[in-house]
Amino acid sequence: MCGIVAGIAQRNVVPILIEGLKRLEYRGYDSAGLAVIDQGEIYRKRELGKVKGLEALIAADPIQGMIGIAHTRWATHGKPSTQNAHPHISSQKVAVVHNGIIENHDRLRTSLQQNGYQFTSETDTEVVVHKIAEQLAIDNDLLAAVKSTLPHLEGAYALGVMYSDRPDTLIACRKGSPLVIGVGIGEFFIASDIAALLPVTQRFIFLEDGDVAELTIDNLVIYDKDGARVERPVVESQLKADSVDKGKYRHFMLKEIYEQAWAVSETLEGRFIGNRLQDSAFGHQAAEVFDQIKSVQILACGTSYHAGLVARYWFEKLARVPCSIEVASEFRYRNPVISPDTLVVTISQSGETADTLAALQEAKKLGVKHSLVICNAPESSLVRESDLVMMTRAGPEIGVASTKAFTTQLVALLMLVIAVGRRFSLTKEWEELIVSELFGLPGNIEKVLQLDETIEQLSQRFADKQNALFLGRGTHYPIAMEGALKLKEISYIHAEAYPAGELKHGPLALIDAEMPVVTVAPNNNLLEKLKSNIQEVSARGGQLIVFMDGALGESDDENVQIIKMPSVANIISPIIYTIPLQLLSYHVAVLKGTDVDQPRNLAKSVTVE
């Protein structure tokens, strides 16, 4: 999604803003732009495509300034084009960058046009800059003009605003979209996330919903949604500028796949005393909350939703905890029936997914008393709005395709199954088994990563394919879904997942020699059933790739390629079987030459509906 970086300093901010934009590239975008004020004039550069194009444009015709705003745009209103790229400018004097969607832009556009403002883009954002310019004519003060503009805006926004008559002032505000202030020495910056600002500071202020901030080189004043002056805490980040570096890897995604053993260890760290999981791992009031709840409702999107699907099996099968799960974008509009003593669990790597946030708010409106988030982004909106929190501590995930965030979500969910399950029917034996398997998980992840070369060779079978099917059963059906999502996201191959028992109810019609069928087949109580499904595919000439640690039986079937997996306990096998599927999609994407870390049309942090 769109990314904002801006700053006010006693030095030229252009290189800082360009570096910041590069660090926001992972969020997904289609154009980039930057504007500065120099000698009382606004200078702007915009380019369709990558930030390096913008950088080249500026190198060829340099601009500089001690105040500037910059942006990567992910098109929502109006196609990707230079004309639609931010910053947008009004009356040659006001410039704005925006993340979010202004829902009433049509109405505002009509009234601004009637008042003589000419629009040069198709964006919803342009109404904001003209509205501020219109208010400036009345208020003659930048902060006042922004404050009187905001009540006219319906929807979500994070904004950076500057005015050529006030080159000493930068305004930042947010509602529904994230925005953080970077605190420097004699300088301030704003950005959509802290990654953009790590080269200049590790001290951050997270703006709250409705906040408006006025920044000068030596002063920062924040007003809350009611207009009252407020202090917001400064948070010291542990992240360093090089935490978001590819290191020896060709892509962030590959690096992140390889970081999973470490990420899992980090997620487990400090949550146990001996072998006993502490309720307090989820927050100080966790024990009290867990004692009261009667069921669990999981809400999430995309990959995080798949993690929740696995957890539903665990909650119900191991602990008899009634557990429902729904895609957040559906839940928020369905007017669901939910009882107040349900624990609403949201799962999100970014903590900013607009649908998940809105679904949580909807659940609260419906009377739910307790919420818990599993999240990888400290200080994110979901973390701030939830009663209980478990951070996944996977470190920054830059590749748009989620990998280590997913496996650490599963680890966090297993811990939640223990903590809640104890209050239901989870036996001591099961608890001990889960804990010991969790402790052994990093070692098993290292083992499965050794399959990388085998999977790289296997990927050649997919390079010329248009479609693929993924099959699994039980907890491995969501893993098949995750495998299919990864493949389509980064290789653009159409991939679908089915619970293998559903094959004969329709998808079997798709099977022919052109259809690779990836099957996730660990040695568990469903393996015999799955073998029959495999036979159904093989008999029709389907090309099977089976990930398994057991044996198939008649093994010389030329339609079947078996990838031998390490044997692991059933409880952790969904985590282990995810990893070869991540590697498979990665290698197929590399072969196809796609943009692995920033696949087309996608964004890392989906902050709009």
* Residues at the site binding ligand AGP, with contacts judged by CB under 6 A: 301-304, 348-350, 353, 356, 400-402, 489, 606
What minimum distance in Å lies between the beta carbon of 351 and ligand AGP? 7
Strand partners, 520: 547
Nearer to ligand AGP by C-beta: 160 or 302? 302
Assess whether 529 carries a catalytic annotation.
Answer: no
Nearer to ligand AGP by C-beta: 55 or 256? 256
Nearest to 343 by CA among 390, 384, 389, 293: 293
Nearer to ligand AGP by C-beta: 90 or 607? 607
What minimum distance in Å lies between the beta carbon of 93 and ligand AGP? 37
Strand, helix or coil for residue 496: strand
What minimum distance in Å lies between the beta carbon of 274 and ligand AGP? 32
Strand partners, 58: none
Q: Which residues contact 60 (CB under 8 A, 6 or more apart)?
A: none
Nearer to ligand AGP by C-beta: 201 or 402? 402
Residues 450, 563 contacting (CB under 8 angstroms): no
Nearer to ligand AGP by C-beta: 304 or 573? 304
Nearer to ligand AGP by C-beta: 399 or 522? 399
Nearer to ligand AGP by C-beta: 348 or 407? 348
In the 8-state DSSP scheme, what is residue 321? -
What minimum distance in Å lies between the beta carbon of 596 and ligand AGP? 12
Angle 606-198-256 from CA coordinates, rounded to 5°: 55
Q: Which residues contact 51 (CB under 8 A, 6 or more apart)?
A: 18, 21, 22, 25, 32, 72
What minimum distance in Å lies between the beta carbon of 302 and ligand AGP? 2
Work out whether strand 212-216 and strand 170-175 pair parallel, antiparallel, or are unpaired: antiparallel
Residues 191, 5 contacting (CB under 8 angstroms): yes
- Token readout for 417 is 């199954």
What minimum distance in Å lies between the beta carbon of 246 and ligand AGP? 18
Q: Whole-angstrom distance between the N-terminal and C-terminal Cα of the chain?
A: 11
What minimum distance in Å lies between the beta carbon of 345 and ligand AGP? 13
Assess whether 375 carries a catalytic annotation.
Answer: no
Q: What is the CA radius of gyration of the chain?
A: 25
Q: Which residues contact 236 (CB under 8 A, 6 or more apart)?
A: 202, 203
| Given the residues 50, 93, 531, 604, the one annotated as active site | 604
| Given the residues 2, 301, 323, 375, the one annotated as active site | 2
Nearer to ligand AGP by C-beta: 193 or 431? 193
Q: How many residues does the chain have?
A: 609
Task: Give the dihedral sign, CA 492/494/497/500.
Answer: negative
- Number of C-beta neighbours around residue 317 at 10 A: 13
Q: What is the 3-state secondary structure (H, E, C) of 30-74?
A: CEEEEEEEECCEEEEEEEECCHHHHHHHHHHCCCCCCEEEEEEEC
- Round to whole Å and give the CA distance between 257 and 404: 6
Nearest to 604 by CA among 106, 192, 153: 192
What minimum distance in Å lies between the beta carbon of 434 and ligand AGP? 24
- Token readout for 490 is 């980064």
What minimum distance in Å lies between the beta carbon of 348 and ligand AGP? 3
Residue the block writes with tokens 């087949």: 521
In the 8-state DSSP scheme, what is residue 185? S
Q: Which residue is nearest to ligand AGP (CB)?
A: 302
Nearer to ligand AGP by C-beta: 162 or 300? 300
For the CA atoms of 132, 137, 139, 145, the dihedral, rounded to the nearest 10 degrees, stands at 10
Supply the residues annotated as catalytic.
2, 604
